Amino acid sequence: MTDQKVFVASEESKAKAKQLRLFAILAWIVAMAGQIFAILKLIHNETLVWLIVAIVVILILAVTGSMLWKKANHLDPASEKDKAKFFIQNQLGAILGVLAFLPLVILIFMNKDIDGKTKGIAGAIAVVAMLIAGITGIDFNPASVEKYTDQINQQTDVLHKLNPGNEMVYWTREGNKYHIYEDCYHIKGREGVTKGTIKESFDKRGISELCLTCQSRAMKEKNVSLEDIGNKVKNVVDSVKMQSK
């Protein structure tokens, strides 16, 4: 694989990622504030229903924050070179998801002013919510600069094999695949068709998958081309044999 291309998030992706991270942080802050309120005001026998409502609201906020944060990380990923930063950035949702409930869970079970039934119900719901928030916040397939770089170069290598001498592909604003042919029926006649390299399609739209229709067409055309070459070689060989006679 030659002419290696290194992934760099576009300014548009960085701006969108920054916005998503701000919303995620805001959601987590409100979730933490909700937890503090629940600790101070709702751990009582008489307010069990409201405590459960608060736990559900905190869970929704924690999960929302995690989803936004993970989406931002896939738009503007960290590098694997800094292991600590890479881990914290990609698993921050899981960490904060647990922290949004852990103090509350501890204080529910340690509180001596509520009866066993309240502890059992509220404690069980809070523990389940904490597990959901923690698991949901885990990024099991974190993005990275290195991973995106590999994908870009692998796809570019595939394009070179399918369509030698051409690095340009096409994509649309709404699509999730790039196309080798501008007249592919999936994009022909559609507005907003952009032409550029695979790296540009990845940087600007996060596209790293080739259209299967274009792939099939390219393979068919390449096979035809190889067959034509084979026939030409055969004709030359036959001509040489005839002349030798």
Rank 152-166, 181-195, 227-241 by mean pLDDT and report only the highest: 181-195
At 2 the pLDDT is: 47
- Cα(97)–Cα(105) distance, rounded to whole angstroms? 13
Per DSSP, the three-state class of 179 is: strand
- Among residues 137, 172, 205, the one where a domain terminates is 137
Checking if the pLDDT of 219 tops 80, the result is: yes
Same domain? For 95 and 166 the reply is no
Longest CA pairwise span in the chain (Å): 110
Which of 84, 103, 137 represents a domain boundary (last residue)?
137
**What's the domain range around 212?**
145-244
- CA 102 distance to own-chain centroid: 28
pLDDT tens-digit readout, 129-149: 999 999 999 999 999 999 988
The answer to whether residue 1 is domain-embedded is no
Cα 130 to its chain centre, rounded Å, is 24
The alpha-helical segments, DSSP class H, found in 38-82 are 48-75
Q: Which of 137, 165, 191 is the last residue of a domain?
A: 137
What tens digit of pLDDT does each residue of 167-213 get?
A: 789 999 888 889 999 999 999 888 889 999 888 888 777 787 889 99
Give, as one character, the DSSP assignment of residue 178. Answer: B
**Domain presence at residue 4:** no
Say if residue 40 is in the same domain as residue 157: no
Mean pLDDT across the chain: 87
